[in-house]
């Protein structure tokens, strides 16, 4: 009995599971030393162990193994049993109770039940039940069916997928449209400004080109002009009415003891300003720097370096005095003695 307990149920199960693959030689040889010892203790059974364990004795380990390997329906020990326990009955709940039962007849029955359940499990290819003390408590607990487990666990509510807001797309579209409109306006305005500037530049260029091609022509007065008869210029008279149009004073004055009619140029010999005739003072006064000239044109004050100049004058064929501005006479050069520079009054 002690030798039989040496082989644990786990070993028996392992041997039974491996039995289908084992060779014939494995059947002859003992599976484990424990089995060998159990076989020695067990009374020698006839060769067809599966057929003749009907003697009512407990099947040996070898018999169990042989039956498991051969796939026989029922072990010989179960055949005469009064209570026909189905072999397929789940043995998972039994082994723990069998282990807890007192040693005796009940224990024997439990052992037989364990063997049947082990065999059934081995045939079914599933683990029959607790095979060790560590597995027993776990097997004793009623296993929860997976369906019940799933039912016990409340399903996590899946929130509904939020609907895509319909207003988002139009808003984006509107923003895009606004951007496009702004860009088009901006580009349009920039282009308009550019084209306007280009047009203005082109117009100015055309005007400049036209002015270059057709320059202003100064309508200068003719260099020769008639101022009237000698009688129109009495002695000591300074005629200023030709200053604006011709830039000439026609004077009936005395120069070096000779009464003459001469034409004085209205340009200051300092820097070119136009002096004024001051009738009260009987002098020409330059407003720019204060140069002063006598009636005959000789400078006497101010920065003017030299006398005024004279134009040529003569009596034309019609008896009128004619001034010719193409010819000028300077006193410092002695040119006022030229008869072309004056007319005897």
- The residues that touch ligand FES, with contacts defined as CB under 6 A, are 268, 270-271, 273, 286, 288-291, 302-304
Between residues 117 and 266, which has the closer beta carbon with respect to ligand FES?
266
Measured from the CB of residue 333, what is the shortest distance to ligand FES in angstroms? 20
Residue 218 tokens read as 């100064």
Between residues 39 and 267, which has the closer beta carbon with respect to ligand FES?
267
Q: For residue 115, give the nearest of 55, 72, 61, 79 by alpha carbon.
A: 61
Measured from the CB of residue 329, what is the shortest distance to ligand FES in angstroms? 20
Q: Which long-range contacts (CB under 8 A, 24 or more apart) does 182-188 make?
A: none
Give the contacts of 96 (CB within 8 A, at least 6 positions apart): 130, 136, 137, 139, 140
Q: Phi/psi class of residue 262: alpha, beta or left (left: φ > 0; alpha: ψ in -120 to 50)?
A: beta
Between residues 96 and 268, which has the closer beta carbon with respect to ligand FES?
268
Measured from the CB of residue 189, what is the shortest distance to ligand FES in angstroms? 56
Measured from the CB of residue 267, what is the shortest distance to ligand FES in angstroms? 9
| Neighbour tally for 192: CB within 10 Å | 10
E-strand ranges in the chain read 224-228, 238-239, 248-255, 258-265, 276-278, 283-285, 292-293, 299-301, 310-315, 321-329, 343-344
Measured from the CB of residue 286, what is the shortest distance to ligand FES in angstroms? 3
Residue at token pair 């860009």: 183
Give the contacts of 329 (CB within 8 A, at least 6 positions apart): 309, 310, 311, 312, 335, 336, 338, 340, 341
Between residues 238 and 315, which has the closer beta carbon with respect to ligand FES?
238
Between residues 301 and 338, which has the closer beta carbon with respect to ligand FES?
301
Between residues 91 and 286, which has the closer beta carbon with respect to ligand FES?
286
Measured from the CB of residue 275, what is the shortest distance to ligand FES in angstroms? 6
Measured from the CB of residue 198, what is the shortest distance to ligand FES in angstroms? 48
Measured from the CB of residue 227, what is the shortest distance to ligand FES in angstroms? 25
Between residues 293 and 342, which has the closer beta carbon with respect to ligand FES?
293
Residue 81 tokens read as 């049993």
Between residues 228 and 303, which has the closer beta carbon with respect to ligand FES?
303
3-class secondary-structure state, position 186: helix
Q: How far apart are CA 309 and CA 98, in angstroms?
A: 159
DSSP string, 35-84: HHHHHHHSPPPPS-TTTS-TTSSPPPHHHHHHHHHHT-SS-TTTTT-SS-
């Amino acid at each position: 009995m002690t030798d039989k307990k040496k082989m644990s149920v786990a070993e028996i199960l392992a041997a039974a599971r491996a039995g289908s693959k084992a060779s014939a030689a494995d059947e002859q040889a003992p599976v484990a030393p424990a089995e060998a010892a159990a076989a020695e203790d067990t009374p020698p059974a006839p060769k067809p162990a599966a057929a003749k364990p009907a003697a009512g004795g407990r099947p040996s380990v070898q018999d169990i193994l042989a039956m498991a390997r051969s796939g026989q329906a029922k072990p010989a020990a179960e055949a005469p049993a009064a209570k026909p326990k189905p072999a397929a009955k789940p043995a998972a709940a039994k082994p723990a109770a069998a282990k807890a039962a007192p040693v005796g007849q009940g224990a024997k029955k439990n052992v037989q039940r364990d063997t049947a359940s082990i065999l059934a499990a081995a045939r079914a290819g599933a683990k029959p039940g607790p095979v060790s003390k560590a597995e027993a408590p776990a097997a004793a607990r009623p296993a929860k069916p997976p369906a019940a487990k799933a039912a016990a666990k409340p399903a996590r509510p899946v929130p509904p997928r939020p609907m895509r807001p319909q207003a988002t797309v139009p808003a984006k579209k509107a923003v895009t449209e606004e951007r496009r409109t702004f860009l088009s306006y901006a580009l349009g305005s920039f282009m308009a400004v550019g084209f306007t500037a280009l047009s203005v530049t082109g117009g100015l260029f055309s005007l400049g080109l036209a002015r270059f091609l057709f320059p202003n022509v100064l309508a200068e007065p003719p260099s020769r002009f008639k101022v009237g008869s000698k009688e129109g210029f009495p002695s000591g008279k300074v005629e200023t009415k030709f200053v604006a149009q011709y830039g000439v004073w026609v004077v009936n004055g005395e120069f070096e003891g000779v009464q003459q009619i001469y034409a004085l140029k209205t340009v200051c010999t300092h820097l070119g300003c136009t002096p004024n005739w001051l009738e009260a003072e009987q002098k020409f006064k330059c407003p720019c720097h204060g140069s002063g000239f006598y009636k005959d044109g000789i400078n006497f004050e101010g920065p003017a370096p030299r006398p005024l100049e004279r134009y040529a004058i003569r009596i034309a064929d019609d008896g009128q005095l004619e001034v010719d501005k193409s010819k000028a006479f300077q006193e410092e050069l002695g040119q006022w003695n030229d008869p072309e520079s004056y007319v005897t009054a």
